[in-house]
């Protein structure tokens, strides 16, 4: 039969990526509130929608494989050169390419236990060896990451600022200090997917050509365009150019390219989204308080709510809400998994959350039974 | 500085993927006729356009990572089970994943000298070793591929039917016989990107669960949706499932998913496109004859024209047409590169080709000067 190459043969046959559509099919009905995937229900700029609609008839053409116009606009947007930017199929796709470029089988990579699973998927997928440090006070711990990286001779160190799944963040100066403490030969993967939501001072001041770090950005979050699959990386021109050696050159879809170019012209919409998200964070905090849970501070478009219990309890709560039509997710490992994670969304969806949460909590009560029983 | 992993470090820093947009920027003006990328200027079904326009406002949601609905519709379309199908970011993306799954560094892969460069890019990109056999009478040579595969112990054998860049094709029975001759341990990658254009009998009869072959299909060609970046593979459920180990699970864009689902409901549009393409092939053949060139028979949406000269002449002709606003391409290696390759397109663009070709030929004449001189 079919014999896979050694790395692929040793990978798990099952994967942790379960989308809301799969859960909906299992439940036999769509979710009424989609609050689990850190999508942005405030949606894309109307200019982006119009540009994508106009581009639909031109979809017979491949997209520009260099994403020339987008790269140049992004360079101006960030005050860097086009040579500092590579556009790809979302941060997920770019993380995979980055790992492929830098990690040989057996190479060490450091991340936090509970941080972005897709990064880990790629590291394992290319034969890298993951080393994980614990969160500290529900935030990623730069010093622990640095120490472990030095200890294991890591080639890559992953940190998201602001963080997913906890929503916590570090001051930009802390990231700059982290860079200064990075061992020779290690590259910091700074995932800034949620950067636009963060308070002033969160984004570090990093020279565009700094070879110690690559930054990941996306249109999936603040720009409300997760389905367009456009992300980009900012880094040293030598590293950025290396992506051309392995990337799927015609892989970025043309309609998405047109959409994000238009989105970048609509700063007002972005500012309005950021304000709406901030208001939604406050409302999620109030809903949490009404239900005896504490909202963790968040610099993102989601809020982690501390159930005050353990992962089994949080899992039952996630399942109970799903049974009531409300899709949320939760961190994957202890102690983060005492929390549930709720994406910011328009009031209509948060109304459903507010309505569903008390009965969901009642239904799972103080008992230790599995969720299947609790739903009876 | 930045140290790449060994495989990446040994890859070429430059890549052969030059899109028409890059050429347009170099020339300082857009092409008047875009006939080089085997795109389909007859465009997508109006249903697909409408579906994409409707989906644009929903782009804040990620696409379904399982492409569930599309997979099921495609399964019904091909009379296979959903377990036989994986959807990905175009055939290009799927070829990369396939190579990653099966090829360890040093593994042998067989293809034809002059066949699809992107497949070669992926093989080299994962450390595989390419072995190439010659075309025979401007067609890929199944027996030569089989012989070489056996000789080098190939894990993968690539064949496109119909072929790109020559447009030639084999009867389906020849492919079935090829499968029967395939050595144990080798997998046939059957690229059927142009299948919808081919005459009856070209598509082999292959059991869906046959473990000796994986077939590649796309919406980029007959469906006129290259910019949507949606392709799929049909194969043994064990091999298809393995893609989940390595693919970018949320990588297929949502608007494209909606578009191709709608395109699949419009068989009339597809039939009309195939008829238009056939008429355009005839017209390209007539234009060729008017200019003293022979059109090779084609089962695709492009036509290879035999200049009767060599690769240097064909290159000058491609450059001369580009200087006159007509974008075409040519095969990359001898003896195929005595030809130029022209995509089928609506009459307005073929009018431009017909108008430009005589003067382009005159401008390069019988001389051996490089194209830069010929354009003076």
Is the bond into A317 cis (omega within 30 degrees of 0)? no
Chain A nearest CA to B367, separation (Å): 34
Residue B369 scores a pLDDT above 50: no
Residue among A135, A136, A117, A133 at smallest CA distance from A125? A117
Residue A153 main-chain phi, psi, to 5 deg? 65, 45
Mean pLDDT of A52-66: 97
Residue B17 has a pLDDT of 86
Residue B376 scores a pLDDT above 50: no
Q: Give the rounded distance of the alpha carbon of A222 from its chain centre.
A: 11
Tokens of A19: 């989308």
Residue B367 scores a pLDDT above 80: no
- Edge-to-edge strands of the sheet including A156-160? A85-88, A231-234, A213-218, A187-191, A156-160, A108-112, A129-133
Helix, strand or coil, per DSSP, at residue A176: helix
Residue among A178, A190, A248 at smallest CA distance from A218? A190
Question: Tokens 């998913």 label which residue?
Answer: B257
CA distance B70 to A217: 29
Residue A70 scores a pLDDT above 70: yes
Spell out the domains of chain A, with CATH numbers in brackets: 6-43+268-374 (3.90.1150.10), 46-263 (3.40.640.10)
Q: What share of chain A has pLDDT > 90, as a percent?
A: 95
Contacts of A211 in chain B (CB under 8 A): 1-2
CA distance B322 to B314: 12
Residue B14 has a pLDDT of 83
In tens, the pLDDT along A141-183 reads 999 999 999 999 999 999 999 999 999 999 999 999 999 999 9
B59 and B255 Cβ atoms separated by less than 8 Å:
yes
End-to-end CA gap in chain A: 45
Of A11, A14, A187, the CB nearest to B2: A187
Residue B16 has a pLDDT of 79
Residue among B132, B140, B102, B205 at smallest CA distance from A2? B102
Residue A206 has a pLDDT of 97
If you measure CA to CA, which chain B residue comes closest to A21?
B64
DSSP state of B139: B
Helix (H) and strand (E) counts in chain A: 14, 12
Interchain CB distance below 8 Å, A64 and B228? no
- Burial (Cβ within 10 Å: 0-12, 13-18, ≥19) of residue A106: exposed
Mean pLDDT of B320-344: 97
CA distance A45 to A268: 9
- Give the CA angle between residues B222, B223, B229 to the nearest 5°: 110
Tokens of A342: 């709720």
Helix, strand or coil, per DSSP, at residue B56: helix
- A216-230, B5-19, B88-102: which range is least confident on average? B5-19
Residue A373 has a pLDDT of 39
Interface test with B, best of A22, A57, A248 (most B CBs within 10 A): A248
Chain A nearest CA to B140, separation (Å): 25
In tens, the pLDDT along B87-96 reads 999 999 999 9
Task: Tell whether the torsion through CA atoms of B125, B126, B127 and B130 is positive or negative.
Answer: negative
In tens, the pLDDT along A347-370 reads 999 999 999 999 999 999 854 444
Interchain CB distance below 8 Å, B248 and A42? no
CA distance B269 to B223: 9
Interchain CB distance below 8 Å, A101 and B8? yes
- Gyration radius (Cα) of chain A, Å: 21
Tokens of A319: 């399942």
- A86-100, B186-200, B354-368: which range is least confident on average? B354-368
In tens, the pLDDT along A106-137 reads 999 999 999 999 999 999 999 999 999 999 99
Residue A371's pLDDT band (cuts 50, 70, 90): very low
Residue A375 scores a pLDDT above 70: no
Helix, strand or coil, per DSSP, at residue A179: helix
If you measure CA to CA, which chain B residue comes closest to A258?
B227
- Burial (Cβ within 10 Å: 0-12, 13-18, ≥19) of residue A332: middle
Residue A372's pLDDT band (cuts 50, 70, 90): very low
Residue A16 has a pLDDT of 79
Helix, strand or coil, per DSSP, at residue A74: helix
Chain B nearest CA to A28, separation (Å): 14
Residue B365's pLDDT band (cuts 50, 70, 90): confident
Interchain CB distance below 8 Å, A242 and B102? no
Residue B146 has a pLDDT of 98
A208 CB-near residues (< 8 Å, 6+ apart): A78, A79, A80, A81, A84, A234
- Residue B74 CA: distances (Å) to CA of A253, B48, B269: 21, 15, 17
Contacts of B211 in chain A (CB under 8 A): 1-2
Mean residue pLDDT across chain A: 96
Residue B366 has a pLDDT of 52
Residue among A84, A140, A85 at smallest CA distance from A112? A140
E strands within chain A?
33-34, 85-88, 108-112, 129-133, 156-160, 187-191, 213-218, 231-234, 294-295, 302-306, 326-327, 339-343
Contacts of B220 in chain A (CB under 8 A): 62
If you measure CA to CA, which chain B residue comes closest to A99?
B5
Residue A253 has a pLDDT of 98
Three-class SS string for A290-336?
HCCCEECCCCCCEEEEECCCCHHHHHHHHHHHHHCCEECECCCCCCH
Interchain CB distance below 8 Å, B246 and A11? yes
A203 and A60 Cβ atoms separated by less than 8 Å:
no
A224 and A270 Cβ atoms separated by less than 8 Å:
no
In tens, the pLDDT along A291-321 reads 999 999 999 999 999 999 999 999 999 999 9
- Residue B376 CA: distances (Å) to CA of B30, B356, B362, B371, B372: 20, 16, 13, 9, 7
DSSP state of B217: E
Residue A376 scores a pLDDT above 80: no
Helix, strand or coil, per DSSP, at residue A160: strand
- Residue A192 CA: distances (Å) to CA of A234, A331, B196: 10, 19, 43
Residue B374's pLDDT band (cuts 50, 70, 90): very low
Residue A87 main-chain phi, psi, to 5 deg? -95, 140
In tens, the pLDDT along B90-130 reads 999 999 999 999 999 999 999 999 999 999 999 999 999 99
Contacts of B329 in chain A (CB under 8 A): none
In tens, the pLDDT along A2-28 reads 899 999 999 999 887 899 999 999 999
Mean residue pLDDT across chain B: 96
Chain A nearest CA to B203, separation (Å): 23
Contacts of A253 in chain B (CB under 8 A): 227-229, 253, 255-256
Residue B252 scores a pLDDT above 90: yes
In tens, the pLDDT along A206-221 reads 999 999 999 999 999 9
Helix or strand run (H / E) with residue B108: strand B108-112
Residue A366 has a pLDDT of 52
- ipTM reported for the complex, 2 dp: 0.96
Residue A17 has a pLDDT of 86
CA distance A135 to A304: 14
Interchain CB distance below 8 Å, B13 and A244? yes
- Burial (Cβ within 10 Å: 0-12, 13-18, ≥19) of residue B339: buried
- Burial (Cβ within 10 Å: 0-12, 13-18, ≥19) of residue B79: exposed
β-strand pairing of B294-295 with B231-234: unpaired
Size of interface A-B (CB pairs under 8 A): 273
B225 and B219 Cβ atoms separated by less than 8 Å:
yes
β-strand pairing of B129-133 with B108-112: parallel
């Amino acid at each position: 039969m079919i014999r896979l190459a050694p790395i692929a043969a040793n990978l798990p046959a099952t994967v942790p990526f379960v989308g809301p559509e799969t859960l909906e099919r299992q439940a036999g009905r769509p979710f009424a509130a989609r609050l689990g995937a850190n999508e942005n229900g405030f949606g894309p700029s109307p200019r982006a929608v119009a540009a994508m609609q106009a581009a639909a008839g031109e979809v017979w053409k491949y997209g520009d494989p260099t994403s020339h116009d987008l790269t140049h606009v992004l360079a101006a947007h960030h005050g860097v050169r086009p040579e500092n930017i590579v556009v790809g199929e979302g941060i997920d796709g770019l993380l995979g390419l980055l790992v492929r470029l830098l990690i040989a089988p057996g190479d060490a990579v450091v991340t936090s236990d509970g941080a972005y699973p897709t990064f880990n998927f790629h590291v394992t997928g290319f034969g890298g060896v993951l080393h994980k440090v614990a969160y500290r006070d529900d935030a990623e711990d730069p010093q622990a990451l640095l120490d472990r990286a030095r200890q294991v001779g890591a080639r890559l160190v992953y940190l998201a600022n602001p963080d997913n799944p906890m929503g916590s963040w570090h001051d930009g100066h802390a990231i700059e200090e982290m860079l200064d403490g990075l061992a020779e030969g290690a590259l910091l993967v700074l995932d800034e997917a949620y950067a636009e939501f963060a308070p002033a001072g969160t984004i570090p001041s990093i020279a565009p050509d700094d070879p110690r770090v690559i930054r990941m950005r996306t249109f999936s979050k603040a720009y409300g365009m997760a389905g367009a699959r456009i992300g980009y990386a900012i880094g040293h021109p030598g590293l950025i150019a290396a992506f051309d050696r392995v990337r799927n050159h015609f892989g970025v879809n043309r309609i998405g390219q047109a959409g994000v170019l238009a989105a970048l012209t609509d700063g007002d919409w972005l500012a309005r989204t950021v304000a709406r998200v901030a208001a939604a964070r406050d409302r999620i905090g109030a809903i949490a308080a009404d239900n005896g849970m504490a909202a963790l501070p968040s610099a993102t478009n989601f809020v982690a709510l501390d159930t005050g219990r353990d992962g089994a309890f949080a899992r039952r709560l996630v399942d109970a809400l799903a049974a009531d039509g409300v899709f949320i997710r939760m961190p994957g490992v202890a102690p983060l998994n005492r929390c549930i994670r709720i994406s910011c969304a328009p009031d209509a969806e948060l109304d459903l959350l507010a309505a569903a949460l008390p009965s969901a909590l009642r239904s799972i009560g103080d008992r230790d039974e599995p969720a299947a029983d609790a739903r009876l």
